[in-house]
């Protein structure tokens, strides 16, 4: 009885990477007229791993011998496995699981991979998005709903000090999106109202009330009005001084610059003050801004706010209005914030990110980022550090080299 001819051959080559390896292998395959069904290639520390799934010719043994000869000439190892058919179709439920660590330890990877397997899911592919100043790895996972994965992996994130984001693998991740950000302690370091309060001699009192409000212990509007009242009599020139003292979150300019190149739109929505946020928006190239307006009379702050307060509900309302103006669904909006007054905004977005946030915000958000680099957000969108640096280099922007 004749031996059954396999439908496909899986060819795996490993060895030292150098120019011409891939072309040599495909030239060998071309002689037999096979079709390429699937291919994947990676390079790690100068070592090449090339996997090829091809249709098997009638004389598949002759092709196998030719591939083995080519591998020997290249000084590479090769394995050839016979099989039937194509790769199995991907199960329902596909997600991107992005891990961010400083550092990313093998124990954390083992825990995450184990929990994914426990769900009956499979890791189809892994790729590095960044190696410095954080390590970011993107896992392509199939076989389980993203909502289930998000719940299952939340515990591993906390136990191993990782940031883990789970997103559906769909076209939204690749389309134009709107990013809506909080300002104080998110886009910038520190709280503007506390900096202004220093000019009135009430910094400590205001800081204590701000902290309680961000933890959700106080009504935001009432607490804001009480804090602003302590600013009565402060010269309006203090706003200019405070603006000059503002320090952006590390990576803020990189994130905005990079995503604007891809057509993203940006908005800032703040419980702070328009006299500051409008200038920030102009400086960074942010398309929309909404915040509270401090009343100024005769060059002095009156300790009052003009108009309605931008509170927790107001932030969510602003997000929906900006999304409508841009013409994107709320599912295509990414919201970033740190305090209790950001919760409605985070919930209204397709992806709500708690950035170095209070615990109740981390518990409620879709995902959290706890590294002090705002541009880590780009890794959640499938953009690698190498792509960012290449685009910056073309624009003449020099990126500091990572440590060896």
For residue 402 the two structure tokens come to 């990572």
Cβ 361 vs Cβ 342: under 8 Å: yes
Other C-beta atoms within 10 Å of 359: how many? 11
Q: Which long-range contacts (CB under 8 A, 24 or more apart) does 187-191 make?
A: 187/248, 187/249, 187/252, 187/268, 187/280, 187/374, 188/246, 188/247, 188/248, 188/249, 188/252, 188/280, 189/246, 189/247, 189/248, 189/249, 190/246, 190/247, 191/272
Q: Which residues carry out catalysis?
A: 182, 184
Cβ 306 vs Cβ 257: under 8 Å: no
Q: Cα–Cα distance between 10 and 366 in angstroms, integer?
A: 39
CA dihedral of residues 348, 353, 359, 360 (deg, nearest 10): 10
């Amino acid at each position: 009885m004749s031996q059954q001819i396999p439908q496909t051959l899986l060819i795996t080559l490993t060895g030292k990477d150098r120019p011409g390896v891939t072309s040599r292998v495909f030239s060998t395959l071309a002689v037999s007229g096979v079709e390429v069904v699937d291919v994947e290639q990676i390079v790690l520390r100068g070592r090449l791993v090339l996997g090829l799934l091809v249709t098997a010719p009638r004389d598949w043994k002759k092709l196998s011998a030719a591939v083995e000869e080519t591998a020997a000439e290249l000084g590479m190892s090769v394995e050839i496995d016979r099989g039937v058919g194509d790769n199995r179709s991907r199960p329902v439920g596909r997600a991107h699981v992005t891990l961010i660590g400083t550092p990313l330890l093998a124990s954390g990877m083992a825990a995450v991979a184990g929990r994914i397997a426990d769900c009956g899911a499979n890791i189809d592919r892994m790729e590095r998005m960044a190696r410095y100043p954080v390590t970011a790895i993107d896992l392509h996972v199939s076989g389980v709903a993203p909502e289930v994965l998000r719940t299952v992996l939340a515990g591993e994130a906390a136990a191993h000090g990782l940031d883990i984001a789970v997103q559906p693998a769909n076209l939204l991740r690749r389309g134009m999106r709107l990013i809506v950000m909080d300002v104080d302690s998110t886009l910038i370091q520190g709280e503007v109202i506390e900096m202004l309060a220093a000019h009135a001699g009430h910094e400590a009192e205001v800081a204590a009330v701000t902290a309680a409000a961000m933890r959700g212990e106080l009504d935001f509007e009432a607490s804001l009005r009480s804090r602003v009242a302590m600013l009565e009599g402060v010269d309006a020139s203090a706003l200019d001084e405070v603006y000059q003292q503002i320090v952006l979150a590390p990576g803020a300019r990189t994130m905005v610059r990079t995503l604007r190149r891809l057509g993203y739109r940006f908005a800032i929505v703040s419980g702070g003050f328009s006299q500051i946020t409008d200038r920030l928006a102009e400086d960074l190239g942010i398309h929309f801004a909404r915040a509270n307006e401090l009343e100024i009379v005769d060059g002095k702050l009156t300790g009052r706010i003009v108009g309605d307060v931008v509170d927790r509900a107001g932030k969510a309302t602003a997000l929906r209005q900006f999304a409508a103006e841009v013409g994107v669904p709320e599912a295509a909006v990414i919201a970033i914030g740190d305090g209790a007054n950001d919760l409605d905004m985070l919930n209204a977005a397709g992806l709500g990110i708690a950035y170095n946030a209070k615990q109740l915000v981390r518990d409620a958000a879709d995902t959290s980022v706890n590294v002090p680099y705002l541009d880590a957000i780009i890794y959640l969108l499938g953009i690698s550090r190498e792509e960012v640096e290449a685009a910056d280099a073309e624009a003449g922007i020099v990126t500091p080299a990572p440590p060896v």
